[in-house]
Amino acid sequence: MSDTNTIGLHEASASQLAEKLNELLANYQIFYMNVRGYHWNVKGRQFFQLHEKFEEFYTDLLTKVDEVAERILTLGHTPVHAYSDYVKIARIEEDKNVHDGEACVRGVLQGYQTLIELQRELLSLASDADDEGTAAQAGDYIREQEKTVWMLGAYLG
């Protein structure tokens, strides 16, 4: 019996990658809900600008939630799909009752910084496992989100 999965990765490596991807998925889900909350609840002078920007962010995050879950499936594993598990696994914490625009932007900035950190860890694991698919996905996300972090930092001054 082969010790590789259907896409040719060693099963031990695929398992380790799936575990890290599930951690990433949990963080995306919590962050997604935080940004939805910012979108719904933001108040202040920048309401219109931030309300629209938060919708842009959460729409993209939802797409990435699906892509991460599908990558876990591609590796031959099962994505975590219970919110109670997300709360246990995630580094990003639920952000409740935030209304101030600047506080919302800081929450978005911190969320992206955490995702970038996790994706760099994933990129290292994927590189060690010769998993170009996961590495490419993580690399694309990092590149895009680093620019977003720069822009959020500029917004906050």
Q: List the structure tokens of 86.
A: 């997300």
Mean pLDDT, residues 89-112 taken together: 97
Query: Domain spans of the chain?
Result: 16-156
pTM, two decimal places? 0.96
Mean pLDDT, residues 48-71 taken together: 98
Q: What is the pLDDT of residues 40-56, one digit of tens each?
A: 999 999 999 999 999 99
- Quick check: 1 pLDDT over 60? no
Q: What percent of the chain has pLDDT over 90?
A: 99
Beta bridge partners of 4: 10
CATH of the structural domain 16-156, one choice from 2.40.110.10, 2.40.50.100, 1.20.1260.10, 3.40.50.300: 1.20.1260.10
Q: What percent of the chain has pLDDT over 70?
A: 99
- pLDDT band of residue 2 (cuts 50, 70, 90) is confident
How many C-alpha atoms does 74 have within 13 Å on its Cβ side? 16
